[in-house]
Amino acid sequence: MARFLPSIWLGEFRSKAEYDAQGQALAAAFSVYDWIDDRLLHSRHPFSYPAYCVACAQVTPIQVGWVLALGNEDGSVHPAWTETGICSRCQLNSRMRALLDLLQTRCLLQKTSRAYIAEQTTPLYRKLKQWIPSLIGSEYLGPGYPSGTLLSSWQGFASVRHEDLTALSFPDRAFDLAMTLDVFEHIPDYRKAFAELWRVLASGGSLVFTIPFFPELETTRIRASVDKTGKVIHHLPMELHGNPVDPAGSLCFQNFGWDILAALREVGFADAVAHLYWGPWQGHLGYPFFVFQAAKA
């Protein structure tokens, strides 16, 4: 089925300069995407439409809802695109399924038997565990646990592993593939997390991740930081995001811009790329959204 559908991958960019250089072409394409998206948004109520789910490998009803809906500068309202577009069968949203599509498109699944993902209590982890039986997952359960702690029972889940991405318990070169989804914005020292993930990746390995990304920003906007005493300092109004293991949510420390690619290279990654995607035939609406990939030489 998938081979008969167009690719969702529209381009790859290694800097804001590359992205801006395609400004006219992107604006023309986005005008087409915008028109198609508007036609599909036929209701202000939740609705579904048929699309191909890469996780289920079949056409399923894709659910579009208005929870976390956002407003544009022009006054229009749209769904939180990466959080909606949920497959009614596997319950994976748009950004999760886009990451899975990149893994398949780049043949990363065929290249690994050693993979790590920074989540363990989610439908995405359970799906990936079917694809990569040796997959190791973890959650961040708070500062009271050292990395590598295994909890035999936690909030109804059995055998949950705790890991701090800035101090991973794994040995050097332990994995061929590491994945995170909307995690780095909640880590004050995200560069230290990049360095740790580089450390635990083998040569030729890849870090693949999603983040809330602001393509108009050259430089990452710091919303909050932590001082030497551990106190959180707010530089902008507090922003909380949903957290599957904490109903109180997670503080957003930064809004990422294009300098995140340079930060990945600075810790040792040989290449870092932002992959642009859109494709309603696979349940991906809205733009511009990206899946990021950093390769270790």
All domains in the chain, ordered by first residue: 2-221+243-248+255-295 (3.40.50.150)
Find the helix or strand (DSSP H, E) in which 195 lies: helix 190-200
pLDDT band, residue 156 (cuts 50/70/90) = confident
Contact 95, 82 (CB under 8 A): yes
> Of 264, 293, 289, which is closest to residue 276 (Cα–Cα)?
289
Mean pLDDT value across the chain: 94
> Are 208 and 108 within 8 A, CB to CB?
yes
- As a whole number of angstroms, the distance between CA 82 and CA 101 comes to 14
Q: How many percent of the chain have pLDDT more than 90?
A: 85
Inter-CA distances, 126 with 27, 56, 185, Å: 38, 12, 24
pLDDT on residue 133: 94
Q: Answer yes or no: pTM beyond 0.85.
A: yes
pLDDT for position 68: 84
244-262 pLDDT tens trace: 777 778 999 999 999 999 9
Q: For 217-232, write each residue's pLDDT tens digit.
A: 999 999 999 999 999 9
Q: For residue 285, what pLDDT band results from cuts at 50, 70 and 90?
A: very high
Cβ pair 9, 100 in contact under 8 A:
no
CA distance 106 to 177: 12
Local confidence band at 4 (pLDDT 50, 70, 90 cut-offs): confident
Amino acid at 118: A
The whole-number average pLDDT for the span 117-145 is 95
Model pLDDT, residue 3: 61
Pair of tokens at residue 174: 């332990």
Length of the chain counted residue by residue: 297
Q: Give the pLDDT mean for 281-294.
A: 97
Q: Can you tell me the distance from the alpha carbon of 2 to that of 33, in angstroms, rounded to the nearest whole number?
A: 21
Tell the residue number behind the tokens 């056409």, with chain if given. Answer: 59
Question: Minimal CA–CA distance to 184: which of 135, 220, 153, 233?
Answer: 220
Burial class (CB in 10 A: 0-12, 13-18, 19+), 255: middle
- pLDDT for the residue 14: 98
pLDDT in tens, 19-49: 999 999 999 999 999 999 999 988 889 999 9
Q: Is the pLDDT of residue 53 over 90?
A: yes
| Per-residue pLDDT at 5 exceeds 90 | no
% helix, strand, coil for the chain, step of 5? 25, 30, 45
